[in-house]
Chain A
């Protein structure tokens, strides 16, 4: 089946620094990718939709200047957490649809971000 990878799987950074998380579709192309955030023992919350070649679409309440998304190719989307603060510590997960947008989505393994 389709595989989505994320890198890094785990990152610790100091408050005020920026962190970039990569999401790659390994064996298929994805014009759209989704970024989710999952707090401990909670569900996944959609942050934004990443669109190849155009601006990302952010969900209400998500700061686009803080969570920069770039979808530069059909297999790569990046999420950059700028000026990270401890409250940004979370589990970030990306997904990409394998076919129709409402068809099966394939999820990356997630990236655990800890901001000290």
Chain B
């Protein structure tokens, strides 16, 4: 079955520190992969997506993600976290027409 796993439920980092949020996928073929951010009271916002090609994908707000087929991973990174990055982050995959979401990782940022 298609699935997306986010192993970390909650991560806390200090402002200015680097960040890596983990995402693993299980699909028969390479899926389309996405990272979304959900802030309190707001809808999901697309950070970046991977369909094919360059395995390092640049997104908005300084985020990037690297697709690693050998590890079935699509981890999200940011070199320096800002307090405004505190939110819930969802990894999602699309093997056919619908998105499958991971359970999300809540990011807290310490000033």
Residue ranges of A at the interface with B (Cβ–Cβ < 8 Å):
4, 32, 34, 41-46, 49, 93, 95, 101-110
Contact = CB atoms under 8 A, between A and B. Distances in A.
A102 B103 contact: no
Q: Report whether over half of chain A's contact residues are helix, strand or loop; otherwise say mixed.
A: strand
B71 interface: no
A102 B96 contact: yes
A43 B36 CA distance: 12
Contacts of A34: 98-99
Contact of B99 (A4, A105, A108): A105
A109 B46 contact: no
B17 interface: no
Given A93-B44, A107-B44, A43 B90 contact: yes
Q: Report whether over half of chain B's contact residues are helix, strand or loop; otherwise say mixed.
A: strand
Given A102-B32, A104-B49, A109 B94 contact: no
9 contacts: A42-B103, A42-B104, A43-B101, A49-B98, A95-B44, A101-B97, A104-B34, A104-B46, A107-B44
A110 B43 CA distance: 6
B49 A49 contact: no
Contact of A109 (B34, B43, B102): B43
Contacts of A93: 43-44
A46 B99 contact: yes
